[in-house]
Amino acid sequence: MKKRSSSRFRAGAMLLVFFAAAFLLPASRDGNAKLYLLSAVVPGVMLLLLLLPSRFFPLDRPSLCSALSLCGFSLLTTAAYSPDETLSQGFRCIAALFFLAAGVVLIRAFRPSVPSAALPAFCGLGLLSCSILFHDLPFSFTEGGMALVLFSAAAFLSLRLRLPALLAVLGALLLLLLQRDYGSAAVWGISCVLLFWVASDSPLWSGILFCSVGSLLGIFIGISPFSADPAGLSPLSRIAAMPLIPPESLPESSPLLPAEDLFFMFGEQYGLIILFCAVLLVILFLIRGASLAQHARKAFHAALALGVVLLIGLRMLLFLSSSAGLSPFSPGSFPFLTSSLPDLFSHFFLAGLLSGISARNENDLEEDARLAMLAR
């Protein structure tokens, strides 16, 4: 146990030293006082966030570390172009941590029943229909809506109510297709088909969902096919132009940060090797989520953890495959490495759900140990 905690301490210390050095590198290159300040503030805040919230909430350290590291990467990207923008990105990340806590509290308080499972479905469908009803909204609540409907579908599946789960999933898919967000619709459809295959005992329901998702996607994409933007630089050519290691001078780029551009800007600044490390961090997050789903005692927790893993993993898969030119759809931003506030909120909410499930698993293990001692 002592050896395990010392290795954790070492990994945390290495992470903080890495971020301090990563901010010092551009600071010494440009001689910018704000970057020197950030090299002390960012690791300090990360240390506080790793130590303090776990006193009040049962947080899952590996998934929290992955999420915070990816946030640190987004801060590094903005710091090199505009140190002032880093401050607002830092506030976005800290605000998103409240949604992580909300996810933990929701898992602790939630008991699956028909009304409690139906409420998140209505909220999620309402968020998804916001983008259709109000065209001039500055934000897109797509990912938040998807997270809530996923929560509801996992609760219905654990109650063996497959028809309401199917209706909620298909309603969300229809709204995504009406928004013409085909990337998110594809991610959502594939995630739900796999979730139904895993969580429902009979293959009939997963077959029905598979046929419905396939026909809806086929009809909508056939009506209005995807057209690539010929004016923009293709993502593959941007990846091809990335150096392997951090370059001496910054590449010229726009100071405006579109949400999906943060991933490419990060690669252009710090090279392919560190970009690959960021992708590996998300894969570690997914493996951690899968392990939590494996060890969950209740079907609701297992289905929800798997749903979170599928939603984030398929989003990353489609993002990378659209960058490689394998898929015509882009599902928006890369997980956690984004400047979009609603996307960050939903990603941290999903990480919070995993943290809550981890805490429930630990409680179950402690209960098992207590019962085993009583039996002796």
Partner 1 sequence: MKTMHYRIRVVVLALVVSLFAVILWTIKSAWLSSGDYSVMPAETLSVSPPVEPDPWSSPAPDPGETVSSFPGETTAPAMEMSLPSPDPLFDTTGL
Q: Footprint of partner 1 on this chain (CB under 8 A)?
A: 194, 197-199, 201, 236-237, 239-242, 272, 276, 279, 283, 286-287, 290, 293-294, 299, 302, 306, 309-310, 313-314, 316-317, 320-321, 323-326
* Phi/psi at 371 (5° precision): -65, -40
| Residue 92 or 288 with smaller CB distance to partner 1 | 288
The CB-of-187 to partner 1 minimum distance in angstroms stands at 12
* Site of tokens 């293709």: 234
Shortest separation between residue 242's beta carbon and partner 1, angstroms: 8
> Would you say 13 or 326 has its CB closer to partner 1?
326
CB closer to partner 1, 43 vs 335: 335
**Residues 233, 80: Cα–Cα separation, whole Å:** 22
Report the candidate in 141, 144, 148, 154 with the shortest Cα–Cα distance to residue 192.
154
Beta strands in the chain (DSSP E): none
Closer by beta carbon to partner 1, 18 or else 197? 197
The amino acid present at 70, given as its one-letter code, is L
Q: Specify the residue, 29 or 238, whose C-beta has the smaller distance to partner 1.
A: 238
Q: Give min distance, CB of 228 to partner 1, in A.
A: 16
| Closest approach of partner 1 to the CB of residue 6, in Å | 29
Exposure of 275 by Cβ count < 10 A (0-12 exposed, 13-18 middle, 19+ buried)?
Answer: buried
Give the CA angle between residues 357, 142, 287 to the nearest 5°: 35
- Residues 149 and 131: their CA atoms lie apart, in Å, by 16
Rounded to a whole number of angstroms, the minimum distance from the CB of residue 201 to partner 1 is 8
| CB of 375 vs partner 1, minimal distance in Å | 22
Give whichever of 79 and 302 is closer to partner 1, judged by the CB atom. Answer: 302
Distance of alpha carbon 176 from alpha carbon 183, whole angstroms: 9
Give CA–CA dist 328/347, Å, rounded.
Answer: 24
Q: Which is nearer to partner 1, 79 or 209 (CB)?
A: 209
**Gap between the Cα atoms of 277 and 225, Å rounded:** 35
In this structure, the chain runs to a length of 376
Q: Report whether 354 contacts 308 (CB < 8 A).
A: yes
CA separation, residue 171 to residues 123, 186, 189, 281 (Å): 12, 14, 11, 33
In the complex with partner 1, the residue whose CB is nearer, 92 or 301, is: 301
From the CB of 281, what's the least distance to partner 1, in Å?
A: 12
Report which residue type is found at 184: S
Closest by Cα among 284, 41, 318, 317 to 33: 41
CA distances from 118 to 9, 155, 159, 252 (A): 42, 9, 12, 49
Q: How far is the CB of 105 from partner 1 (least distance, A)?
A: 25
Spatial distance between the Cα atoms of 336 and 67, rounded to a whole number of angstroms: 6
Name the minimum Å distance from CB 280 to partner 1. 9
Measured from the CB atom, the residue of 216 and 272 that comes closer to partner 1 is: 272
